Every structure is written in C-alpha cells, then in structure tokens.
Amino acid sequence: MYEFAVAPAVTQIRRRGVEITEVARGSLAHELELEAGDRVIKVNGRVVRDYLDFRFQTGGETEIILEVRKRSGEDWELDIERDEGEDFGLMFEQIVPRQCANECIFCFCKGNPETARPSLFIRDEDIRLSFLYGNYTTLTSITEDEMRRIIEQRLSPQYVSVHATDLDVRAFLLGVDKKRADISEKMARMLDAGIEIHAQVVLCPGINDGEILLRTIDDMAGFYPRVKSVAIVPLGLTRYNTDERLTPVTPEFCRRTIAKIETAQRALSARMGTTFAFLGDEIYLRAGRAVPDRKHYGDYPQIEDGIGMVRSFNNEFDALLRRLERRAEKNFLPQLSGTVMTGTLFAPVLKRALDRLNRRFGTRLHVVSVENNYFGGDVSVAGLLTGGDFLSARDSLRGDFLIIPSSAIKSGDSVMLDGMTLHELQEQLGLPIHALDLKGVEKSLESRV
C-alpha cells in the first residue's frame, strides 16, 4: 500500500475536461498557443474526462477539433491537422482516484494510525489505475460507463481482487451483500471482449484459505489464458487492526499453505504449462523457505504484487557481481564503507547478497534490519518503513553513508509515509543518505570503477 499523486481536494466537484499542466516548447500544442492551466473539454465532440480519454480520442487521428477552455475563461475551438503520429507535447493533471465503496475487513487503510496524512486513507477502486499501475479493483461497484470504457479503450490487462469465488466468503471479506459480491458476469463480459485479467487473493487464515483457496484457484484456472495469473498474498495486520475476525499470519500457517499450494502448482504446470497461481514472496520468507527458481515465475506476471521480487533480486545481483568482475580492477572498492537499511523480512536476503560483495571486493557494507514501529503488528516490508523507523535504528549505523530502499520514498517526491523528508532524515542522522534500488546501487558502484 502506498499513496498516489492525487488532486489535493478529491471531495470537490470535478471541473469539466482535463487540465494541461505542461506544454513542451516547440511542440504542436505550443504552436497552437495552448498553456498550462488550460482545460481540454472535448475532442471531436466527445467529452474528455482525463488524459486517458485524450490519448484514446486523439490516437491515430490527423484531423481533430479541440474544444478548450483557456485559463482566462475564454472558450476556444481549434480545428487541427497534424501529421500521423505527431505528438501534441502535452502533460495533464493526475487522475483523481475513484473511491472504494466496499468495507473490506482486511483493508490496510483501516490499519493506519490516526495521525497519518489524509492521503493514506484514500481507498481507490479505479479501473484506470488498474490498467496504468496494476492497482487491484474488486469490480463490485463498476459502472456500465466504466465497463464500456474498458472494452472500447482496451484498458487491458485489468487486475481484479477476487479473494474467493465462494460468494458467501467473498461477501464476508468485502463487507457487501452476495449480489454485489458476485462479479462473474462482469468478468465474463470483459474476458469475452478480449480483456486480460490478473487475479489476486489476500489470504486470511481461517476464512479463504484451505479448500476455499484451492477452489478459487481452480475456478480461475478454468478461464486461462484469458485470466493470466493468480497472486496469493498474505494478510497484513498493523497494531491498529483490532477486528477480531482476522487472525495473524504465522510461519506455521505459511508452511502449511506452501505445502498445499505446491501440489496445486505442479498440477497446473503439467496441465497448462504455467505455475498460474503464485504465492507472495512474504509467504516463503515468513515460512523460512527458499523462494522458487526463475522458471517458476515465467515472465513475472505479478511482480508488482510482491511475487518473484526476491528471485528477481537474487538473479540481478548475481548478474551485477559478474559485471563488476569483468569491469573492475583489483581492489577498486576497498574504501567503500556504509550502512544499508531495510525491513526485517528482506534483511536476511540482502545480508547474504552484500556479504558476497564484501568478500569479493573488500567493501564494508553493513545491513541493518529495521523494525516498523510506525505501523507495528506484523508489518515487515521495506516499502512501509518511515523516517521515524530509520531514526530508531541510528545506533546501528556504520561507515560514511546510508542507503535506504527507494520503495520507502513517495514516487516523484522525497517524503516518507510519516511525512518526514529525505533531507530532514539526513539532517538528523548527519551523513549522506541515498534512496536506491538495486539498479541505483549498481550505478553507484560502477561510477567508482
């Protein structure tokens, strides 16, 4: 869970059209005297709701009529002829997420501290964000207009939180009635129109596990290859989750789940040529088990949902070591000394990797496992660590710099979930801080070659 770049007042009535935020100098839009703050209202008589509409309605068109409301309030109608494929050179305002109407008993937003920023309580249920970023929707309240839009604009794939195909169980998990919980006709309509679907199950012990889970996997497999994959991720509870219907995920539960699902995965692989139903990395790590090999994950269809990230990291790290071996002079990194902080779940994986780097190149990179005190509970992933969490581990710092996971930083900004900025954290710790992923680390190392 992470916040999205949204308009600051999502409760206000939306103005017509979509606002231009940037015009590239020398572009077609610049020649038309369009400016930041103008709003595109219609394209060829069709209403524009967001930049996806603009992209779809102008795509492939060489003769276009734009209806624009200038920031001055003046209305323009522009009759445009452009070369095929010529870009307008426009940037538009961010999409304001459609709000979720469910009351999911496991919703992570219910686990936020009361002092969290308002944006962390936004629960999106938006088919556009599903297409753009892989956000999951439940389809319980999808409108006819949204359904037509998915099909017409080919917003494929869609990511759907199924959770259970047993309607009683699904309705219970989502906090809705069985009629709303039943999305079988909606899914069939999308699949028949050629829209691909990736499904998700948030696994809640004692509710949708065991035979319910196996039935869900089997039901989804019946739609393969139109349903491309199923991600099975564990329930995450913070210390603020007090719902007695929820049971924490334990290492023993994870081991039982792996044993049960491995049997199903072998059968699916033999029948369909794909693993199809993938367990989240967190399940293997909590169970104390090694993650599967590269072949298991295929083309990593659910990596954004934490499926195969550890395997991908290990493979990429191996490749990094090979590249450094080929390009490096002997002992080119012996003075590199610093601390790398990460969540408790990933820390052992990262430590094994960096120990190999240290042994080979003489570096002194020290891994620190950081407890999540902000959310508490069983939250242990790196992306949910906050500035306060990093500060609480300051006594473990070694070396000349600190690396923290880039996933803990808001995309496009330098702020963490508790509102602390990277600059503020650096001032309090008194040493350089870099928010990096593996590619960033590699770039930093290779710059020293």
Strand partners of residue 241: none
Q: Residue 445 has what pLDDT?
A: 59
Q: How far apart are CA 184 and CA 108, in angstroms?
A: 25
> Which residue stretches of 273-308 are H helix?
281-287, 294-297
Instruction: Report d(CA 31, CA 158) in Å as an integer.
Output: 37
The strand pairing partners of 101, in sequence order, are none
Alpha-carbon span 333 to 448, nearest angstrom: 7
Phi, psi of 266 (to 5 degrees): -65, -40
> Can you give the pLDDT at residue 120?
74
Task: Tell whether the torsion through CA atoms of 140, 220, 248 and 417 is positive or negative.
Answer: negative
pLDDT of residue 198: 98
Residue 440 is predicted with a pLDDT of: 61
Side-chain half-sphere CA neighbours of 235 within 13 A: 29
Q: What is the mean pLDDT of each run of 10 residues along the chain (449 residues)?
A: 35 74 95 96 95 92 93 95 90 90 89 79 89 94 96 97 98 96 97 98 97 98 97 95 93 97 96 97 96 95 92 93 76 78 95 94 93 94 94 95 91 85 94 81 57
Give residue 306's pLDDT: 86
Tokens of 95: 């999409």
How far apart, in whole angstroms, are the C-alpha atoms of residue 191 and residue 326?
48
Please report, in angstroms and rounded to a whole number, the separation of the first and last CA atoms in the chain: 37
Predicted pLDDT of residue 329: 60
Nearest to 152 by CA among 16, 49, 57: 57
Give residue 36's pLDDT.
96
Instruction: Give 40's Cβ-side CA count (13 Å radius).
Output: 36
The reported pLDDT for the residue numbered 112 is 86
What domains are there in the chain, each with its CATH number?
18-92 (2.30.42.10), 108-307 (3.80.30), 318-446 (no CATH)
Find residue 43's DSSP bridge partners: 46, 66
Q: Residue 266: CB partners within 8 Å, gap ≥ 6?
A: none
Distance CA 402, CA 388 (A): 15
Bridge-based pairing of strands 75-81 and 158-161 is: unpaired
